[in-house]
Amino acid sequence: MNTYRFSEKVSNSINLIYTLIFFPKARLIRRPFYLRGKNAFKYGQGFTCGYGCRFDLSNGKESSLILGSRVLMGDHVHIVAQSKVIIGDDCLLASNIFISDTNHGVLTQADPQSSPLIPPNSRPLEFKPVTIGKNVWIGEAVSILPGVSIGDGVILGAHCVVTKDIPANTMAVGAPARVIKIYDFENSSWKDCLEITEVSP
């Protein structure tokens, strides 16, 4: 059971007042909390985040970061959502996580403006939406890169780097992330899985 020191209780009380005023549907947002592009932020009931979270969002009117209900985040979660990042209901994110829908340069095809001779900040931005299903557990220091779709019920092990789609109800680890287990609903257990060829997030 978590117990808070007096100073933490005071800090949480201040953060709760801040949350009620500026993010009334949220459960608790701990400051410092950095939000660029507030108009592009849509969140569900019960959103909770730890200290030092940073969201860099689109300046447009359409929502570029959409969080479902009861999304829980640890400390220092950094999300770049210039196009679209969607996180489903009841997801649990540990700390020091990076999620981005944006690349500096078009890295999947011929493009002279994406040459390594050009400074990264001068290359054209490429946007690929990121979708994360419901009931997903994202471990410590995970990176989720542009264009990735993660199915419902997925577990991403600590420090993994997700570069490709992850099917629903699987467990993935490593850099790049690969599926190592799949949930067997008939036996209510996780079973080893060397490779899954059909991705159905």
Do 172 and 160 touch, CB atoms closer than 8 A? yes
In the set 76, 78, 104, 159, the catalytic residue is 104
Contact 170, 191 (CB under 8 A): no
DSSP secondary structure string for all residues of 177-195: TEEEEEEETTTTEEEE-S-
**pLDDT of res. 113:** 85
191-200, Cβ contacts within 8 angstroms, sequence gap of 24 or more: 196/167, 196/170, 198/167, 199/164, 199/165, 199/166, 199/167, 200/151, 200/167, 200/168
Is 159 labeled as catalytic in the residue annotation? no
What's the length of the chain? 201
Tens digit of pLDDT at every position of the chain (201 positions)? 567 788 888 888 999 999 999 999 999 999 999 999 999 999 999 999 999 999 999 988 799 999 999 999 999 999 999 999 999 999 999 999 999 999 998 887 788 888 899 999 999 999 999 999 999 999 999 999 999 999 999 999 999 999 999 999 999 999 999 999 999 999 999 999 854 444 444
Q: Where are the domains of the chain?
A: 6-192
Tokens of 108: 């999947």
Q: Are 80 and 56 within 8 A, CB to CB? A: yes
CATH superfamily of 6-192: Hexapeptide repeat proteins (2.160.10.10)
